[in-house]
Amino acid sequence: MGLELTASNIVKRFGERELFSIEQLQVQEGESLHLSGDNGVGKTTLMKILAGLDKPCAGRINVTPNMKGRWSTSLHPKVIYLHQTPYVFSGSVKDNIAYGLKLKGISRGQIKRTVQSALEWARLEEFADHAAHSLSGGEKQRLALARAWVLTPGLLFLDEPTANLDKQSVDSVTELVRKMVDGGAAVMISSHQTNPLTEVCQRSLLLADGKVSESQFPKEMLFDA
Ligand SMILES: Nc1ncnc2c1ncn2[C@@H]1O[C@H](COP(=O)(O)OP(=O)(O)OP(=O)(O)O)[C@@H](O)[C@H]1O
Ligand SMILES: [Mg+2]
């Protein structure tokens, strides 16, 4: 059974300033959503709140199944947020992919096999022993996706995953995200532009003036225009 996330009456303020107030937002199993909006409207803040990395000033977020308690500051184990600037740990590319698996207490042999599969999945085999910090922006983004992939996310938040990437890297990231979606994960992608990656998405949400609105038009009409 897949994950379902429901957010209700989510309000975020910084001091006197209300960034957004969102009545209802739902993400269901296998869905792909594009969250668009101008710089500074609150896309990153909203996705971090939905992923459990930041707290709203008011409101509730429920993830089913397996949510412990009601609102919790800890992440749901199957909900993963990937930062706007891909975050890599010191150590090799392999070490980076193995990190989350070690935390889960998986056996060394199984970790080795899973890391190898992830390297192939993300086409990072040639970089396996390179220092992760030495990777290019596009390669780091693929590494971040590979690190998420080994944890089999049910819901993945990708924050501007194609910012600063050239066309070829956008295509590589798009291919990986498409594979995640085909594998059943729900994905929410924030981006202030449309590009080949956002075309993967079935739903289009716009964050503007502190509200989220859903496009009433079929996706093809938006992107083929
Ligand atoms: N901890 C904080 N304290 C005060 N203001 C903050 C804080 N975090 C974010 N903001 C403000 O909230 C607004 C929304 O920021 P956020 O990073 O969520 O926007 P964004 O839509 O992701 O922008 P971008 O497209 O540039 O990534 C910005 O004006 C930002 O300065
Ligand atoms: Mg942002």
The pLDDT score that the predictor gives to residue 218 is 52
Q: How many structural domains comprise the chain? A: 1
Tokens of residue 224, six digits:
């083929």
With a Cβ cut-off of 6 Å, ligand 1 is lined by 14, 19, 37, 39-45, 84, 160, 192
Residue of minimum CA distance from atom 8 in ligand 1: 45
* Ligand 2 centroid, distance to 110 Cα (angstroms): 35
**Domain range for 79:** 4-85+151-223
Residue 59 lies in a domain: yes
pLDDT band at 203 (very low <50, low <70, confident <90, very high): very high
Residue 200 lies in a domain: yes
Is pLDDT above 90 for 122? yes
Residue 131 lies in a domain: no
201 contacts 180 by C-beta, under 8 angstroms: no
Name the residue among 21, 22, 37, 63 with its Cα closest to residue 159.
Answer: 37
Is pLDDT above 60 for 217? no
Residue 199 lies in a domain: yes
Beta pairing, strands 155-159 & 79-82: parallel
* Ligand 2 centroid, distance to 48 Cα (angstroms): 10
50 contacts 188 by C-beta, under 8 angstroms: yes
118 contacts 110 by C-beta, under 8 angstroms: no
Q: What is the pTM of this model?
A: 0.91
Per-residue pLDDT reduced to its tens digit, 7-23? 999 999 999 999 999 99
Residue 217 lies in a domain: yes
Residue 143 lies in a domain: no
Residue 34 lies in a domain: yes
Is pLDDT above 50 for 105? yes
